Every structure is written in structure tokens, then in C-alpha cells.
Structure 1
């Protein structure tokens, strides 16, 4: 059975981490397959949203530690440089919105991969854990970059050092994730968000994403110039014309992602 499942329906590429017996913890095979499927989703015009989730009870328990200690394994340096860093880069550079549907525990790299997505929703029974300090490591997969920007320096520092388990409802309250849904409603609500994004002006969403990527390092003046650049690009898309026409004609727009 493949470590990654990939389907396309209604403009949504669903990528499922598929090692449920290991709570979808990463090994090299799964990490490289995820990169390949993210590349495929990015390249296909029919795909207008990516939906990332996990099989079974968990979203992702992070790194499979058996691979880390295996003398024949890739080793920590390659795990970071060839597995996680390229995954995070692909998620942030993906020219389409990525929804993380966190269906269970998201720990270590699994938590930080979720937080690198554009819209993160979780089921009520899910939890987020910066588990690295428990085994003498530091957060990777962009965690030291994303978490303090989401919830603030002091809270992020404490969660990373103490390794507290944060329930999904608390993660929503902190601003770590977008929304938490009751377990029974989760799948339908998460899929509806992906459906909504899949029929929106895809290029404009990509420009929003690129602008947000730059916002944490730019000065205000630099960010204003970047907004000007992306707004000019958005203003010549077919979807902008359609949006204006639909507004003036008092009808629902039919965006094509062009």
C-alpha cells in the first residue's frame, strides 16, 4: 500500500498521509512521495486547492524514530535537508491554497507541516504537540519560524520547551489554527472549506499567499511595494474581470483560476 494516497475531485487534490499503523509518522518513502504529489498538484491546472489529511486515527505523529536510529537510514541531516525542508518549501510556494484537515494527533514535524498550510482545521479530538524537547531535539520543519508568528514569542517558547499537548479547541483559541469542529461534523466542514477555495480566483489566492510569506521580513514600505506588484498582476487576470462583471450584473461569479 502506498504511503501517500492522491486523488483529484472537483478541483481539489486530496493528499492523504497513509501509514495509519504508525500514526502516519514519516519515513523516507512517505516524505519523498509527499514532495512528488505536491509537485503534481502544483503543476495541474485542474487542481485549484490541495487538501492534506491523514489516514486512520492520526494526522501525523512526526518522524518515525526507527528510521532515525537505523544505522542504514538516511541520518538526521538528510532527513531535514531532503525530507522536511523541501516539504515546507513546497507548501509555502504552492500556487494554490492548501487546507490541512487535522483528523487526529499532529506531533513534532506533523504539527509543523500542518501549521505551514494556508488554512488549518482540526477535529475536536485532535491535538498539537511540539514533542521535540521530550527526546532532546529542537523543533524543525519550520516550527521555530511559524509558531511564534501565529501565537506569539512567549507562548511558542513555552510550548516548544515544555512539549505541552494542546487540544484543538485551545489551538483555535490561541490562533494556532483557523477552526476546530466537532468530530461528527469535521469531515464535512473541512471539505466545504476546500470546496469554497477551489472555486475562488486561484491566482489572487496565490498572490495573497506570496504576500503573506514576505510580510514577516519586509518593512512596511517594502510590503506596500509588493502589494502594488501583486495587485497589478491580479488586476489583469480573467478572474478579476469575471468578478467585476458578476458584481455589476448582480450574479454569482464563475471563476476559472485564470
Structure 2
């Protein structure tokens, strides 16, 4: 099962489950996560959604082998929902979303933090937005969400540099709300999720709607700008070289 689903007292925990690929998102995982988010949103018994990963990674981002196939394979098949579907599901989610970042988060594994209501991060976790090192544009409306969340200069450094940000720096920037010892991460995220789940679900949804609704149009516009830039740069010399280097390292 690509996304493990566990319910406990109004808290639904979704666990990305491709540990052999560091929970990198291929089309199948995008589809499974989209469906899981939509199902949690529609379930009247679910008050809070927690998202985490199996193994040593939260998510290594886009599956770069599949990204290269998108460029080189004329028969490449996109998923039913794919990346756009998951972003739409995150944007439309009416229930509070808690992220428990258990390990490295790269690409969408970092930019997804912009959709969270609360982020708990293991003290040994780290984040990277590798877009410039891959020769592509930002994604997931991060060009809008990150400056809004952590300020222009912090966002510029993350999006422009392709450098790692450790957990302490993520906390300082405001990307993470609380740092936890790795062994305490899920218990701490679960404890806070249970507090929220003890409240009225319609009230939780009303609070989230009043926070998020003013941003939804701007998120959609930012995503459209990013998709347009991404399509131009995908398969460019810089991108093709980066993907080729990655493929060679995988086979060594």
C-alpha cells in the first residue's frame, strides 16, 4: 500500500510508504495521496489529518527516474491525478493538516510544508528545494507560499540556492512549529492532533476556511505561473544534464 491509513479518535494518519525510494513521489504515489486526502476531507468522522513518511525520509520529492522518462519516453503515462491533483487536494483540504517530518524532505517533500497548519519536525530531519540544481522552476505554489510563510529572503535562499536547511534553521525560519527527538515525533504530533480532534469538527473547518480561503486564488495563480515555467525548463540542457547525472549515479 503506497499510503498507509490509520484512524484513531478522529485523527487520520496518512503515511507515505515507498521507503525503498525514500518516499519519492511517482505518479502512483501522487494518485494514492490525492485519493487519501480527498477521502479524509469527505469523511465526517475525520477531524484532523496527519501526514508523515516511512523509513528515514519524509519524501525525497519527485521521482527523478520518472521525471526523466517523462522527457524521453513518448509512451509515458501520467497518473489519473498526478502532481496537479495532489496540489488541488491540499489546497481544497478543509480539515486541519499536521505534518510530521520524520526525515529528509526534498522538493515537494519540502514545499508541501506550505500547506500545513502545524509542522512537527524530527531534530535530525532536513529540507531542500533543489529546483535550480535540477534546472527547473519552483512547484506547489512555493513561490507564493514560502515568502508568505517564512519571509522573502528566507524563501529566496531556499528556492534559489538548492542548499539544505536543517531542523534548527527550519524552526528559526518558521517552516517548523516544533522540533522533536526522532523517537518522540509521532507521539508529539499525535498528542496535538488529539487536542484538535477533541474540538467540534464544523468549528475546526470554519477556522481553517477563514485562514485559508483568502489565499486559494493566489495559490492557484502561483501554481499556473510555475507550471508554465516548469514546462519550458523541463528537458532543457541544464535539466537533462542534471537528470542524466542522477541516472548515472543510480546505476553505479
**Interval containing the TM-score (normalised by the shorter chain):** 0.7 to 0.9
TM-score (norm 2): 0.79
Pair 1:115-2:118 in alignment: no
SS at match of 2:137: coil
Q: Give the one of 63, 72, 76 matched to 1:73.
A: 76
Pairing 1:124-163 to 2, within 5 Å after superposition: 124-163=123-162
1:60 — aligned with what?
Answer: 59
1:193 — aligned with what?
Answer: 192
User: Does the Cα contact within 8 Å between 1:123 and 1:168 map onto a contact in 2?
Assistant: yes
1:230 — aligned with what?
Answer: none
User: Does the Cα contact within 8 Å between 2:16 and 2:53 map onto a contact in 1?
Assistant: yes
Q: Which deviates the most, 153-162 or 84-93?
A: 84-93
Q: Which deviates the most, 141-150 or 204-213?
A: 204-213
5+ residue gaps, structure 2, are 218-252
Q: Please provide the CA RMSD for this pair.
A: 1.9
SS at match of 1:59: strand
2:15 — aligned with what?
Answer: 16
Larger Rg: 1
User: Does the Cα contact within 8 Å between 2:34 and 2:81 map onto a contact in 1?
Assistant: no
Q: Relative to structure 1, is the Cα distance of residues 87 and 159 closer, same or farther in structure 2, using a 3 angstrom cutoff?
A: same
Deviation at 1:115, TM superposition (A): 2.6
Deviations 1:162-198 (A, max 9, x none): 1121111211111112111122322211111111111
User: Does the Cα contact within 8 Å between 1:49 and 1:98 map onto a contact in 2?
Assistant: yes
Report the Cα distance in structure 2 between the residues aligned to 1:133 and 1:188, rounded to whole angstroms.
36
Q: Which deviates the most, 203-212 or 150-159?
A: 203-212
Q: Relative to structure 1, is the Cα distance of residues 109 and 33 closer, same or farther in structure 2, using a 3 angstrom cutoff?
A: same
Report the Cα distance in structure 2 between the residues aligned to 1:197 and 1:161, rounded to whole angstroms.
36
Deviation at 1:217, TM superposition (A): 8.4
1:97 — aligned with what?
Answer: 96
5+ residue gaps, structure 1, are 219-258
1:245 — aligned with what?
Answer: none
User: Does the Cα contact within 8 Å between 2:91 and 2:216 map onto a contact in 1?
Assistant: no
Report the Cα distance in structure 1 between the residues aligned to 2:215 and 2:10, rounded to whole angstroms.
30
| Count of residue correspondences | 213
TM-score (norm 1): 0.77
Pairing 1:228-247 to 2, within 5 Å after superposition: none
User: Does the Cα contact within 8 Å between 1:116 and 1:142 map onto a contact in 2?
Assistant: no
**Which structure is higher in RCO with an 8 Å CA cutoff and minimum separation 6?**
2
SS at match of 1:173: helix
